Structure 1
Amino acid sequence: MRRLAIALLCLAALVSCARPGTVPTPGDAPPGDAATEWTTYQADVTAVRLSDDPRSLVLTVALLADADGCSRNPRVTYLVEENNHIYANVVQDSRLSGVVGACPTHTPGEVTLTTPGPIAGRLVVLNQEPWKRDGGQYRRCDPTFGCDPMPADHCDPAWISVAVRGMDVSRHSVGTPEGCDGRWLVMTVPFDPVPCGAEPRPGCDASVTVRRYFLRWAGEHGWSTIAGSTEAGCGRVHSAEPAFPRRLCADLPKP
């Protein structure tokens, strides 16, 4: 009887220690090992095209690559239709993305996005980036000009604003073109148009420093600054770019 009681006590102890999901299996790694835990990450979308199904689009995505465990299960999550827009997140799972150097490259993959009804010409927002239909495929909307075509006129105020935002000036600064022919641009830009704030502070000097900038059209990147000056006329631009046309700056007063 004594031996039977001891055996029953041992069996009870074994049963109480066994919990679902904690039984180790061959190859299991210690808990908390970042290289063995699959985590969800964003999968960048590089292209969007139509499919044979009017309710679906085929997304080309950049998947982590170079080792087993870099990427699996690319998919669409959080699919919402609202205000003639389709919003979705595109993700992948990885257990090596947190390991430095484990997944140094990307490989293209495909994910299908399917909505309950026809997609038609609706704007598609993937990972917070809008895409607009352009013929048989979609194009990513420009971060500056949105989904509308960029102005063909390089002297358009929109292009001027982009150039000023790339300068080391106040976010309140606005460029004033003095000469522009689509290839060359000269304009004045105040360093800070409101140095004393919207309501001038007592004792603040409200004088504004203004410089003249000379720029060259750089293609899809917009305007590129050649030189800056506080002098009259063409200033020092010809020492940096002799081809800058004098007709655009020779008669300009000191800024």
Structure 2
Amino acid sequence: MRSGGKRRAAAAALLCALAVLLLGACGTQVAGQGGPTPSATALPWTLSAPIGITSATLSADQRTVTLAATVPSGPKPCVRNLRAVLTEPVRNTVNVQVTYDSPAGDRASGCTKTTTAKARVKLTEPLGKHELAVGYPGTVFTADDAPLPALRLCGDLGCTPPATGCTTASYEQAVYAVDSPAHTYRDAEHCDGKWLVLDLSWRTGPVCGDQADSACTSRLGDRWFYQAEESGWKPFFRTTEGGCQAVQDREPAFPTALCASLEPLAPSLHPNHSR
């Protein structure tokens, strides 16, 4: 009897153990409710480029550049593997590409703010007179006339914009300064080196080859007035009116010799020069 009792007790213990394992494997579900909640899916980290490059500094031997890059930030890590590498040089330009990995493409990452991070790149030779272009389209820096060790950030007209004067290159700078539409035409220039008037126009009709067709030559236009500054021609007034009254109301020092003969801009203008 004792031997049989022990066998029954052992069998009962085995059944209990099996029941525990089965219950653990199946979980405990309540009718009307789903199974266990799956864990949240991790956000992907993708290769990215900086939002912007704000400054560049050059080492004393001109062989290392430190770049300040604007990158995403948030309550959790938003940037890793920040790096700057040299790419294929072009003419007198050293090209650098800055990249990093980030989950910022998904707003759920929380990377909705920005911060500044530094990346360094070793040049193959001293920068010298070469320009440094970072990214594409490039943010361009130069050591020429720069307050070293900081490099000078070049503008939209390049690192050596044309000097202000009564020249074609200077007029191009003036057209650019007013953010005119693409394919803007310079119809007339009146310049004395300190003051400038440009009559500008641009097509409004369809693109076609028959210039006799008014639909192809229909134009809108503006007359811009500029004053010379160290950075180039600075626009300060525009109008379609003729004469001096409007511009001299705005700037009494504007010379009468440059505005007295100005006619009001006609609704339809004919091009002399193209931007």
Q: Look up the match of 1:38.
A: 45
1:69 alignment partner, SS class: coil
Q: Look up the match of 1:251.
A: 260
Q: Is 1:236–2:246 an aligned residue pair?
A: yes
Unaligned runs of 5+ in 2: 1-37, 266-275
| TM-score (structure 2 length as normaliser) | 0.62
Q: Look up the match of 1:161.
A: 172
Q: Is 1:139–2:125 an aligned residue pair?
A: no
**Distance in structure 2 (CA, Å) of the matches to 1:110 and 1:209:** 47
Q: CA deviation at 1:109?
A: 2.0
Unaligned runs of 5+ in 1: 1-26
**Distance in structure 1 (CA, Å) of the matches to 2:90 and 2:182:** 37
Q: Look up the match of 2:102.
A: 94
Q: CA deviation at 1:111?
A: 1.1
| TM-score (structure 1 length as normaliser) | 0.66
1:80 alignment partner, SS class: coil
Per-residue CA distance 1:153-182 (angstroms, 9 max, x = gap): 255543422333436566140253224452
Counterpart mapping for 1:1-255 below 5 A: 29-30=40-41, 36-43=43-50, 44-52=52-60, 54-77=62-85, 79-81=87-89, 83-99=91-107, 102-128=110-136, 129=138, 130-134=140-144, 136=148, 137-144=150-157, 146-148=158-160, 150-153=161-164, 155-165=166-176, 166=178, 171-174=183-186, 176-182=188-194, 184-192=195-203, 199-201=209-211, 203-204=213-214, 212-216=223-227, 220=231, 222-231=233-242, 233-239=243-249, 241-254=250-263
2:162 alignment partner, SS class: coil
2:173 alignment partner, SS class: helix
Matched to 1:63, the amino acid is: V
1:163 alignment partner, SS class: helix
**Distance in structure 2 (CA, Å) of the matches to 1:176 and 1:158:** 15
Q: Cα–Cα, structure 1 residues 243 and 61, in superposed 2: closer, same or farther, change >3 Å?
A: same
Q: Cα–Cα, structure 1 residues 141 and 191, in superposed 2: closer, same or farther, change >3 Å?
A: same
Q: Look up the match of 2:13.
A: none
Per-residue CA distance 1:113-156 (angstroms, 9 max, x = gap): 01445444433221032322235342233222x222x3342555
**Distance in structure 1 (CA, Å) of the matches to 2:179 and 2:87:** 39
Contact 1:188–1:210 (CA under 8 A) maintained in structure 2 = yes
Q: Cα–Cα, structure 1 residues 191 and 201, in superposed 2: closer, same or farther, change >3 Å?
A: closer
2:143 alignment partner, SS class: strand
Matched to 2:130, the amino acid is: R
Contact 2:226–2:233 (CA under 8 A) maintained in structure 1 = no
2:101 alignment partner, SS class: strand
